[in-house]
Amino acid sequence: TDLCLIFDTNDERLIEPLFSDIQNYTKNIVFIDHHPLLKSGPLPKQAFIDTTAASTGEIIYNVIKNLDIPLDVNIAESLYLSIVFDTQLFRYIRRSPISHQIAIELLPFIPSPESIHRNLFGGQTPSKISFIAKALAKITYFADNKIAIVLIHKKEIQEFGLTAEDTRDVVDKILDIDCVEVAVSFREDTSTRYNISVRSKLLLDVLEVSELFGGGGHHHASGAMIEGEFLKIRDQIIEYFKKKLE
């Protein structure tokens, strides 16, 4: 293959073991992304990265327009899906009107934008709602309720017949609490391995703490895989954000 395009990440570790295999069959691998480059960790050899874009969909919209490719229903729905998902229904637009401006141009081509919204953010099952309710009931607060943390055990995911992917909504729900400035969810993969998701409001940059643990992401939404003891890791993160809040 002459060219492989990888979208919405610039960290090859996130797509292993696929990435190592791709290198054996592809002459050129190019990352197209809007996440900041990692301070530590692998850097892409070839990439187009625009950290001002709120989504990869915005970047591809500009590519399509510059190539004079006319919009149609398939292109419009795909771009709109990317923008709506990555901005969380225009919640995170990086103080820019661009996402809205692109949506205005795409919407006339899309028969049912509502169905895209439902498929991305709706369609919750009774089991998943029960799981989210149980997870939210376990939130612990620190630093005058500005830091909120929840630990999700593997057995709880299995108890409700869910997958690890079904846990991703929990951290966003926590950030909806008015007083909370930073929300952290720990998902237990093994007794010593945790997937952490970190979200913050505008005051706090959370990318740095994820990078400390070998992760990455956005300035206000990031994550990492961490090996170690839960309480020690939790306390490290709490102390880090307490200093930031001060």
* Residues above pLDDT 70, as percent of the chain: 100
* Residue 92 pLDDT level (bands cut at 50, 70, 90): confident
pLDDT of residue 123: 77
pLDDT at residue 40 is higher than 90: no
The amino acid occupying position 47 is A
pTM of the entire structure?
A: 0.81
pLDDT at residue 130 is higher than 90: yes
pLDDT of residue 246: 86
pLDDT of residue 200: 92
The amino acid occupying position 99 is S
pLDDT of residue 231: 94
Whether the CB-CB separation of 7 and 37 falls below 8 Å is answered with no
pLDDT of residue 65: 95
The amino acid occupying position 203 is L
Cis bond upstream, residue 17 (ω within 30): yes
- Tens of pLDDT, residue by residue over 181-225, are 999 999 999 888 999 999 998 778 888 888 888 888 888 888 999
pLDDT at residue 241 is higher than 90: yes
- Tens of pLDDT, residue by residue over 16-39, are 999 999 999 999 999 999 998 887
Q: In 3D, which of 160, 136, 157 has the Cα closest to residue 148?
A: 136
Q: How deeply is 34 buried, as exposed, middle or buried, from its count of CB atoms within 10 A (0-12, 13-18, 19+)? A: buried
Q: How deeply is 94 buried, as exposed, middle or buried, from its count of CB atoms within 10 A (0-12, 13-18, 19+)? A: middle
pLDDT of residue 114: 94
- Tens of pLDDT, residue by residue over 146-178, are 999 999 999 999 999 998 888 988 999 999 999
pLDDT of residue 165: 86
pLDDT of residue 88: 86
pLDDT of residue 56: 95
Alpha helices for 5-55 (secondary structure H): 18-22
* Residues above pLDDT 90, as percent of the chain: 74
Q: 141 forms bridges with which residues in the sheet?
A: 148
Q: How deeply is 5 buried, as exposed, middle or buried, from its count of CB atoms within 10 A (0-12, 13-18, 19+)? A: exposed
pLDDT of residue 113: 95
What average pLDDT is seen over the chain? Answer: 92
